Amino acid sequence: MVGYLFAGQGSQYVGMGKDLYESFPEAARIFDRAEELLHIELKKICFNGPEEALKSTNISQPAIVTASIAAFEVFKSKTNFVPSFSAGLSLGEYSALIASGAITFDDGIRLISKRGQLMDEASKKHPGKMAAVLELSVEKLKEICRQSGAEIANLNCPGQIVITGKAEAVNQAMELCNQAGAKRVIPLEVSGGFHSSLMSEAALELKLVLDNLPISEPKFPVISNYTAQPQYKAEQIRENLVSQIKGSVRWEDSMRFILSKGVANFYEFGPGKVLKGLMRRIDSSAQVVNIEKSTDMEQVVNTRP
């Protein structure tokens, strides 16, 4: 049994996707189509930077999804796997839905571009920040959030939780976390307080877009970040995506659900190895293979689980 995982925001880096674009027509087709639809120099920014442009929310989101789906399309052309489950971290859930056939790539990349714009606008209107808290219990962190007004954004893995919200609330929560004995508290390089109530207006605008978006039944189950359960029906997917933008990402719960169904081998699509690292903390016996470069494709062909 195999599971598919898709990278989230923050995994981007200058040069991502270049090797695949130059090596495989399947990847080139995806990058060329994304650029055609979005009317931005996506390849130039992904392959050559500058880094500041790639880090911008309205660029990084479609860039990561494009790189992830490019890797997936190459992988699909060389294998005949049908995954038991799939999931993506926050933004990556959209990649998973595209890969599953629930949303077409054309619709999905336009949707992602709009999502990035809405989140960027919300961040400017309601400034916020995020921070990763290491080695502090969920119970203690919930208490600190109640005291400070911060919110929990991501329950990533044992010992790693991300907090979010208004800048002053997160700053206060960071101080309280340090006082409570957190191993480290790390401010994240993001442009706003994502996965918090600050995104409520963005969620309302996203709902209007999703209400008019064709969604099909996925060819394989995609786990919702918001519920940590499989989602099959169009209305269910729409509701979960709206809730996800302003609610907590239950990544650890999502992975434990998939693992509980007997899946022990995973492929991670897109830039970086963040999800592989999180899985190591969740269940070190699970195997995760990254699909990002042409050498990864060679490894897949030669060593299949």
Tokens 């639809």 label which residue? Answer: 37
Token code pair at residue 28: 């080139």
Cα of 187 vs its chain's centroid, Å:
18
**How many CA atoms, within 13 angstroms, populate the side-chain half-sphere of residue 299?**
10
Give the C-alpha separation, 286 to 117, whole Å: 36
- pLDDT for position 80: 86
Specify the CATH superfamily of domain 2-124+196-302: Malonyl-Coenzyme A Acyl Carrier Protein, domain 2 (3.40.366.10)
pLDDT for the residue numbered 10: 87
Model pLDDT, residue 300:
79
Distance CA 230, CA 232 (A): 7
Is-contact 86 96, C-beta < 8 A?
Answer: yes
**Phi and psi at residue 263, in whole multiples of 5°?**
-80, 125
pLDDT at 270 (0 to 100): 96
Q: Which residue stretches of the chain are H helix? A: 18-23, 25-38, 42-48, 51-55, 57-78, 92-99, 105-125, 138-148, 167-179, 200-211, 234-246, 251-260, 274-282, 294-302
pLDDT one digit per residue (tens) for the chain, 305 residues? 999 999 998 899 999 999 999 999 999 999 999 999 999 999 999 999 999 999 888 899 999 999 999 999 999 999 988 999 999 999 999 999 999 999 999 999 999 999 999 999 999 999 999 999 999 999 999 999 999 999 999 999 999 999 999 999 999 999 999 999 999 999 998 889 999 999 999 999 999 999 999 999 999 999 999 999 999 999 999 999 999 999 999 999 999 999 999 999 999 999 999 999 999 999 999 999 999 999 998 777 765 54
In the chain, where the domains are located: 2-124+196-302, 131-187
- By the 8 A CB rule, do 103 and 93 touch? no
pTM: 0.95
Rg (CA), the chain: 18
Q: What's the CATH number for 131-187?
A: 3.30.70.250
How far is Cα 30 from Cα 68, in angstroms, rounded to an integer? 10
Q: How far apart are CA 291 and CA 247, in angstroms?
A: 29
Residues catalogued as catalytic: 90, 195
